[in-house]
Amino acid sequence: MSREAILGRVRAALSADRSAESSPLLSYPRTGTLNTEERLQMLEERLHEYDARVFHCPEQALAQRIFEVLSAAGRLRIIHPAALPTSWHAAQLDWTPDSPGLSYAEIEAFDGVLTGATAAVTESGSIVLQHGPAEGRRALTLLPDYHLCVIFENQIVETLPECFDRLKANAAAPTTFISGPSATADIEMTRIKGVHGPRFLDVILVTRPSNFPKLTFQ
């Protein structure tokens, strides 16, 4: 068995160096320093740099804002995770909840997909999905050419370590970091937007009046 052979070689090679048992002390800044407003602003800047569009709205106007963004983008047939809050659905659009019976070709044929997110990271301009109920299975945010993602203020963290603190509880879940629309730098190292993943990424940042009750997904 190669398993035993490989592990045997590894153990033999390392046996002399087992004395250094101390695990490394890692010291690097883990937490951010921005206030809420700065955090939002920087996230928006970073998303813009990746060619994503960013919209704002207070929580009570979310459905209206979703409608405006989608209709202005000409995205009328929308697929969404089955557990997405129905309050987000603007009546004028054609909504289809995901279901296990939908084939990849059928998912691809929608104008776009609407989801929530698990977290967003200001510093890297990333949206993170752990594919919970409001985010859906991974194919959903991959095949349609357009992705509209709703992010709440309390989901935004400044640094990647802060993000991993949030992801830890559900570490075994499939996790996708999305930092702008798909792109490539394979020709002359120049970033070109739009290869295989969605070519269009829109984000709605939802700000909440401080006395507004918290909305959670999971």
Site residues for another protein, 68-127, by CB under 8 A, read 100, 104-105, 108, 121, 123-126
DSSP state at residue 25: P
Using an 8 Å Cβ cutoff, are 97 and 115 in contact?
no
Structure tokens at 124: 């890297």
**Size of residue set near another protein by CB under 8 A:** 72
For another protein, the binding residue among 20, 74, 209, 213 (CB under 8 A) is 20
Considering beta carbons, is residue 17 or 74 the nearer one to another protein? 17
Q: Which of residues 131-190 bind another protein (CB under 8 A)?
A: 131, 137-139, 142, 160-161, 163-164, 167-168, 171-190
What is the Cα–Cα distance from 36 to 58, expressed in whole angstroms?
15
What is the Cα–Cα distance from 185 to 191, expressed in whole angstroms?
4
Q: Does the footprint of another protein cover residue 33 (CB under 8 A)?
A: no
- Minimum Å gap between C-beta 163 and another protein is 7
Site string for another protein, 34-73 (x = CB under 8 A): ------------x---x-----------------------
The piece of 1-9, 54-62, 80-88, 146-154 that touches another protein (CB under 8 A) is 1-9
Q: How many residues does the chain have?
A: 218
Q: Where are the alpha helices (DSSP H) in 27-126?
A: 36-49, 62-72, 104-108
What is the Cα–Cα distance from 148 to 202, expressed in whole angstroms?
5
